[in-house]
Amino acid sequence: MKRRGMRDVAAAAGVSVSTVANVLNNPGVVAEGTRRRVEGAMAEIGFVRSAAARQLRGLPSRLVGSVTLDQSNPFYAELNRGIEDHLDEAGCMLLACSTDQRGDKELRVLQLLEEHSPRGVIITPTGANPGRLAAVSGRGTPVVLLDARQDGADLCAAAVDHVLGGRLAGEHLLGLGHRHIAFLTAGDDIEPVRERRAGLAAALEDAGAPPPVGVRAAEAGFSAGTDAAVSKLVHFDPKPTAVVCVNDIAALAVIRALQARGLRVPGDMSVVGYDDLPFAAHVRPALTTIARPIRALGRVAAELLLAEGPAGHRHRELMFAPRLVVRATTGRIG
């Protein structure tokens, strides 16, 4: 069976294609009877409009690209859902791509996306392709940055104040008496991670504590890499009494690695996560973490995107404040 177009509908209804076009785009102008006949024909032959043809004619696309580091990560999954929710209201759909924080993948994905001339692209940049997003934007595809600031160009952005996030973690720990605090990351640092470290460092400096020592795991999650990082962590001198982790998944892995070495959390080491994913409250000990409004972030990014007209938009940056959630993985020193 083949796909039927407006031409077939026109034939079946005994009218011209422009009349069919009118019942689709301008129903008020078509005579009642004709309209019914055409609608009948459409139903009859199973007419499906061609988005490709409309796009070719220059109408706005209904596709929006979302480029995240990994859509299977609960954080980005939730984010995409926030985006989708808003797009849905506007009759648009989500093209979901993952880069695994690799510059080459990011390039491929942006290329493919651009070929489909989407309504816009929402992206958490890997940072490996500076200037590229400005180029995309310059070619007419609106770009909204997520968790990143201006890529040189002036693009819209939906961001979280990660400096504040890092600071909140630091001040909490300081308040519990910790002074030797580590910052654990996974993989290469992207901008939001550098900001968190900066916030943490600022809090420590303000309190006259030594700067945070950095530890890097090969990747977030349960692996030899995390184990090695934790091993390094506990052998620092002076030994840190607390570690703030780049996200909840890394934090959980760190906790398990610590426990595997016979160390107690928070007795021997306090641990702070980031994101407040749904599981954070339910692991044991329950995770102290920095929460941010994930779904709202996605929604806002989508709103920013759809608000960009083909021309004459002024670029805006929306900033969310994260918030500390104290649970059971942090405790008073001693």
Of the candidate residues 11, 34, 71, 315, the single one contacting a second copy (CB under 8 A): 71
Cβ(263)–Cβ(234) under 8 Å?
A: yes
Q: What is the DSSP letter of 311?
A: S
Is residue 94 near a second copy by the rule CB under 8 A? yes
* Cβ at position 41, least distance to DNA in Å: 12
Residue 328 binding: pick among DNA, a second copy, none (C-beta 5-8 Å cut-off by kind): none
For DNA (CB under 7 A), the number of binding residues is 28
* Cβ at position 275, least distance to a second copy in Å: 13
Of the candidate residues 60, 107, 117, 317, the single one contacting a second copy (CB under 8 A): 117
Q: What is the amino acid identity at position 312?
A: G
Length of the chain, in residues: 334
Is residue 17 near a second copy by the rule CB under 8 A? no
Helix (H, G, I), strand (E, B) or coil at 148: coil
Cβ(94)–Cβ(124) under 8 Å?
A: no
Cβ(330)–Cβ(286) under 8 Å?
A: no
Per the listing, tokens 């011209």 go with: 16
Is residue 21 near a second copy by the rule CB under 8 A? no
What CA–CA distances, in Å, run from 11 to 5, 29, 50, 60? 10, 20, 17, 28
Residue 72 binding: pick among a second copy, DNA, none (C-beta 5-8 Å cut-off by kind): a second copy
Sheet of 181-186, strands arranged across = 213-217, 181-186, 242-245, 270-275, 288-291, 323-325
Select the span of 93-101, 143-151, 177-185, 235-243 touching a second copy (CB under 8 A): 93-101
Is residue 258 near DNA by the rule CB under 7 A? no
Site string for DNA, 15-44 (x = CB under 7 A): xxxxx-xx-xx---xxx-xxx---------
Cβ(101)–Cβ(126) under 8 Å?
A: yes
* Cβ at position 85, least distance to a second copy in Å: 9
H/E stretch holding 215:
strand 213-217
Q: Which is nearer to a second copy, 64 or 181 (CB)?
A: 64
Is residue 58 near DNA by the rule CB under 7 A? yes
Q: Which is nearer to DNA, 57 or 284 (CB)?
A: 57
* Cβ at position 151, least distance to a second copy in Å: 16
Q: Could you tell me the two tokens for 17?
A: 């294609």
Cβ(257)–Cβ(268) under 8 Å?
A: no
* Cβ at position 142, least distance to DNA in Å: 18
Q: Could you tell me the two tokens for 253?
A: 């892995």
- Among residue numbers 129 through 158, which ones bind a second copy (CB under 8 A)? 135, 138-140
Phi-psi group of 220: left, alpha or beta (phi > 0 → left; psi -120 to 50 → alpha; rest → beta): beta
Of the candidate residues 44, 50, 152, 264, the single one contacting DNA (CB under 7 A): 50
Burial classification of residue 237, based on how many CB atoms lie within 10 Å of its CB (0-12 exposed, 13-18 middle, 19 or more buried): exposed
> Which residues contact DNA (rule: CB under 7 A)?
3, 5-7, 15-19, 21-22, 24-25, 29-31, 33-35, 48-50, 53-54, 56-59
Residues in contact with a second copy by the rule CB under 8 A: 1-3, 46, 48-53, 55-56, 62-63, 70-74, 76-78, 80-81, 84, 88, 91, 93-98, 105, 109, 111-117, 135, 138-140, 252, 256, 279, 282-284, 295
